[in-house]
Amino acid sequence: MANEIKQVALYIRVSTDQQAKHGDSLDEQEHTLNEYVKQQRNMKVFKTYIDDGISGQKLYRDEFQKLLDDVKKGRIDTILFTKLDRWFRNLRHYLNIQEILDKNNVTWLAVTQPFFNTETAMGRSFVNQSMGFAELEAQMTSERIRAVFDNKIRKGEVVSGKVPLGYEIKDKHLVPNEKAEIVKEIFQYYLETGSMRATVRHLENHFSMTRDYQSVRQMLTNRKYIGELRDNKNFCEPIIDRDVFERVQLQLSKNIRMNKKRDYMFTGLLVCSECGCNYSATAVISRYVRKDGTTNPNERHLYRCTKNRNNVKKCSNKKGIYETTLENFLLENIEKQAEELSVKMQQEPEVKKTKNTNDKIKKKIDRLKKAYLNEVITLEEYKKDREELEALLIPERDNKIAKIDLNSLHNYSTAEFRDGYKQLTISEKSSLWRQVIKNIVVYPDGNLKINFLGY
C-alpha cells in the first residue's frame, strides 16, 4: 500500500490582487504545488482546481464544488494547497467539509505548513484553532475595509469607479457635468408621463442613449441625484430638487401597484402567420362616465404580434385580437375544425400508403411466428428474420392521443360544457385549452387556424 500511487487534487485560490503581491498569486501557488508533487514518488496530479477572485469565507465556489463532486465520486485520495487559509477561512464551513472528506477517506495537506496534521486529536485541535484565527482575521479585514468606505462617504469622496450619468469625478468628489441637463429632463419627463416605456423611448430618441427599463428605474431612484449617500445628506452637489425626486418615487410606487401580474388566457398559444413570432397580450383599460358622474373601468386583453408591440422590427401583420373574441371563436368553431382535420387525415395518401405497407410487414411477422411454432425454423432464425422485418416498419404518426383529443372536442359545443366553462377561472380555462391546442395561427385578414396537439 505504501507504494500505491495517490491521485491528488491541487486546489488554488486567490481572492484579491493584494494577495498576489504577497506571494499568493495563482501562478506561484500552482508552481509550489507541482514542485511538491515532483518530489513525491507516490503522487500523481489528477486535476488542478482554481478559484480566482473568490473569498475563502464563501462555501459555494465553482471550482471548489467541482472538487467536492470528484471527492464523492472516489476520484481523489489527497488534496494539496499551499496554506490553510487557501482552503478555508470559516471554521464552520471547514468542519462541514472535513466530515465529507473523512467519509470518503480523503486527506489534505498544506504543503508550506506541514505542521498541520489532522491524523491526531492534538493536530485537529490545532487546525481548528488556526481556522478560528483565520476567520477572525477575515472578519476584521472586512470591518477595516467597511470603516475606510464609511470614512470616505463622510468626507464626500467617491468609493467606487461607477459614476452616475450627469456626474464626473474631480479631486475624489462627484461634480455635475454637461449631461446633468439630460438627467433633469428624464426626471421631469417621467413625472409628466408616468410611463417608464415612454421615458426609455424619449431617452433613446432625443439623446441617442439606449437604456433598458431597469437602468432607467435605477437612475430615477438614485439618491445621489439629491446629494445623498447612506447617512451623508450632503455627499455631493445635487442635480435634482428633492421635491421632484420624492414625487417621482411616489409615481414609481403607484405604477408598481398598478402593474400587478395579470393572467392572460392564451399566452404562448397565438402565432403570427407572417413572421412566426408569438402574440403577446396587454391590458387595455377603458372608462365610461355614468350619469351620476362616476366612472366604470373596463379591462380587456388585446393580443398583438410581439414584433409590432415591442416596436423593434415591424411585422406586416397588424391584426390584433381581443381575448373575448378569441374565446368565442374557439367555443363556436373548435368542433368544426376538429371534424375537418379528422376527414383530411383519413384522406391523406401517405397515411394510407404507410398503413398498407406496415400491414403487409405485420402479416409476414405473423407467418414467421407460425413457422417457428410449427418447428419449421429455429429460434435463432426466427429472431433474426423478425428483427429484419421490424426494421422495415415505417414509423406512423402518433394518432392515438390526437384522436382521443379530437373526439373529446365534440363535448365543447354542448350546453352543459358551456355552463361549466363559465364557472372556470382564467387559469383553469387556459389549462383546458392547452390540453387540446398546440397553437392558433393568426392571419392579417382576421382568419384563425387551430393546430391541435398530436397533428
Who's near 186: CB < 8 A, 6+ residues apart? 199, 202, 203, 216, 219, 220
Taking the C-alpha atoms of residue 189 and residue 183, their distance in angstroms, rounded to an integer, is 10
Beta-carbon count within 10 A of 302 CB:
17
Who's near 210: CB < 8 A, 6+ residues apart? 203, 204
CA 310 from chain center: how many Å? 21
End-to-end CA distance of the chain: 64
Beta-carbon count within 10 A of 402 CB:
20
Taking the C-alpha atoms of residue 226 and residue 120, their distance in angstroms, rounded to an integer, is 61
Coil/strand/helix, residue 165: coil
Examine the residue annotation and report whether 427 is marked as an active-site residue of this protein: no
What angle do the packed helices 399-408 and 323-347 form, to 10 degrees?
130
Q: CB under 8 Å, gap of 24 or more: what pairs does 411-419 form? A: 412/330, 412/331, 412/334, 412/335, 413/331, 413/334, 413/335, 418/331
Q: How far is CA 201 from CA 94, 196, 204, 247, 251, in A?
A: 52, 9, 5, 21, 18
Q: Which of 15, 130, 273, 280 is catalytic?
A: 15
Taking the C-alpha atoms of residue 193 and residue 233, their distance in angstroms, rounded to an integer, is 29
* Residues annotated catalytic, as ranges: 15
